[in-house]
């Protein structure tokens, strides 16, 4: 699906809330992962998992020298 055919972001800046709403509305058109019973996907997590993901989302997991603790944590079975 080519979003450029359906929607064009403005040339000038818009309020961050408006940009969020535009993108969030587009993402709502995706399928609902909770209804996907044909593959192994995570459809729900404890709130603590969401917090951990958001706390580490800006880390570059490929850079193992810069983030050695993160690299080590990947070896654990959680």
Instruction: Spell out the domains of the chain, with CATH numbers in brackets.
Output: 3-73 (4.10.280)
Angstrom CA distances, 20 to 23, 25, 41, 47, 56, stand at: 5, 8, 25, 22, 21
**Report field, pTM of the whole predicted structure over 0.85:** no
In tens, the pLDDT along 35-44 reads: 777 777 777 8
The predicted structure's pLDDT at residue 29: 85
In tens, the pLDDT along 12-66 reads: 888 999 889 988 888 888 877 777 777 777 778 899 999 999 999 998 888 889 9
Higher pLDDT, 3 or 47: 47
Instruction: Spell out a b/e string for 2-28, using b for 16 or more CB atoms within 10 Å of the CB, else e.
Output: eeeeeeeeeeeeeeeeeeeeeeeeeee
Give residue 1's pLDDT band: very low, low, confident or very high (50, 70, 90): low
């Amino acid at each position: 699906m080519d979003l450029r055919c359906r929607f064009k972001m403005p040339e000038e800046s818009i309020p961050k809330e408006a940009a969020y709403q535009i993108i969030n509305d587009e993402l709502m058109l995706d399928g609902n992962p909770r209804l996907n019973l044909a593959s192994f996907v995570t459809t729900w997590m404890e709130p603590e998992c969401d917090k951990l993901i958001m706390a580490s989302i800006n880390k570059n997991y490929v850079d193992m020298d810069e983030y050695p603790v993160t690299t080590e944590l990947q070896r654990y079975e959680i």
